[in-house]
Amino acid sequence: MRDAKTIVFVFSSDRPASHRSPVGLFRFRFSSSVTSCTTKSSGEILTASGSLWFERTMLGPIAVAVVVGVLGWAYQALKPPPPKICGSRNGPPVMSPRVKLSDGRYLAYREIGAPKEEAKYKVIVIHGFDSSKDLNLPIPQELIEELKIYFLFYDRAGYGDSDPNPSRTVKNEASDIEELADRLQIGSRFYVIGVSMGAYPAWGCLRYIPHRLSGISLVVPFVHYWWHSFPSRLLREAFGKLQVTDQWTFRVAHHAPWLLYWWMTQKWFTSLSIMAGNMKIFSRGDMEIIKSCGDKINLCQEKIKHQGVHESLHRDLIAGYASWEFDPLELENPFPDNQGSVHLWQGMEDRIIPCEINQYIAQKLPWIRYHEVPNGGHLCIFESDLCVAVIRALLLG
């Protein structure tokens, strides 16, 4: 028989000898083929000679299968599901009036107040995160009749009955507002109220369509923790006041938006406090509003995300926390002749939007009329008296 190399594998067994297999332990000798086989019952050493058949023929395919499996899992985990577009075969029915934009998308809207043909003031309201055109602001009918106000609410892209926009940015959010106003023929100028996350489209209006504005009010407005013109220490300290899970979510939205769908849907830990129902983010005043208003804050809560949570909430975070082409400190006064005004309302007990950043904006941009609400939380706009104050200040100065 040819000379053959011998390879020994050692393993152990906790079973007593009396319970071991009668086959015992195999000893194989290989050259080009197996030439002998003996058994031992007293030891546990398997010897083999020749090439490692298992290693050569099995380990490679197994490794490939593992890699392919991991890549397949990662692809499925990272890839959001397709949207359920309103009016499509698999989507929800269209339940609201809509206008068609120049890019083919539809925006849904809701009108209240005085007829636009008769109105003295025309106001577009931009809803916030996890909200919609059915935002139920406590606007007294008496105020509407007194000032002859027309209000236009709309679903931002991906929310409610408005088509998704995979390319959402601050700029095209402002363009949507301008085009909506033109389609509904509300006039060459109009007022804007941006609430919470709805403030980033409002900032976009100040940057991209200031010539269309009669006035603008930012209420408990969204802040960006990577605005480049702000002191890094200020941004860092404000950011540090947020819930740790929220900090990580905003980091992912800014630095790795392609990872956000996985981050928001993984089950290992909380991704965003407000979506997890963490009530610690609300002030005492907010809790009183939640108890008194409940589901009346949004009239059709079930419709907000019915085209998909990624197309509404996730893309909102991505657009808001993307790198902007500007930041607020670079804006110029859109009303140098005082023919309009810009207002910023900050709740001093707001635990969702740290007040320091908006205070800094007001200090650096003296043309912004800054209003602090001493006991106000993030939901202070739902207090009737404050809602009236916001509207009167915007329209009457």
The first and second tokens of residue 334, run together, are: 């859109």
What local confidence, expressed as pLDDT, does residue 390 receive? 99
What local confidence, expressed as pLDDT, does residue 211 receive? 97
| Residue where the block lists tokens 């028989």 | 1
Q: Where are the domains of the chain?
A: 98-396
Phi, psi dihedral angles at 369 (to 5 degrees): -85, 110
pTM of the model: 0.81
What local confidence, expressed as pLDDT, does residue 301 receive? 74
What local confidence, expressed as pLDDT, does residue 275 receive? 84
What local confidence, expressed as pLDDT, does residue 89 receive? 87
What local confidence, expressed as pLDDT, does residue 357 receive? 98
What local confidence, expressed as pLDDT, does residue 28 receive? 39
pLDDT in tens, 63-73: 555 555 554 54
Give yes or no for a contact between 395 and 191, defined as CB atoms under 8 angstroms apart.
yes
Q: Which CATH number fits domain 98-396: 3.40.50.1820, 3.40.50.10140, 1.10.645.10, 2.40.50.1070?
A: 3.40.50.1820
pLDDT in tens, 142-194: 999 999 999 999 999 999 999 999 999 999 999 999 999 999 999 999 999 99
What is the radius of gyration, based on Cα positions, of the chain?
Answer: 31
What local confidence, expressed as pLDDT, does residue 29 receive? 42
> What does the longest C-alpha to C-alpha distance in the chain come to?
110
CA-based nearest residue to 129, from 251, 273, 270:
273
Cβ-based neighbours of 244, under 8 Å, separated by 6 or more: none
Instruction: Mark the ranges of the chain whose per-residue pLDDT is less than 50.
Output: 1-50, 71, 73, 75
What local confidence, expressed as pLDDT, does residue 77 receive? 56
Query: How far is the C-alpha of 228 from the C-alpha of 230, rounded, in Å?
Result: 6
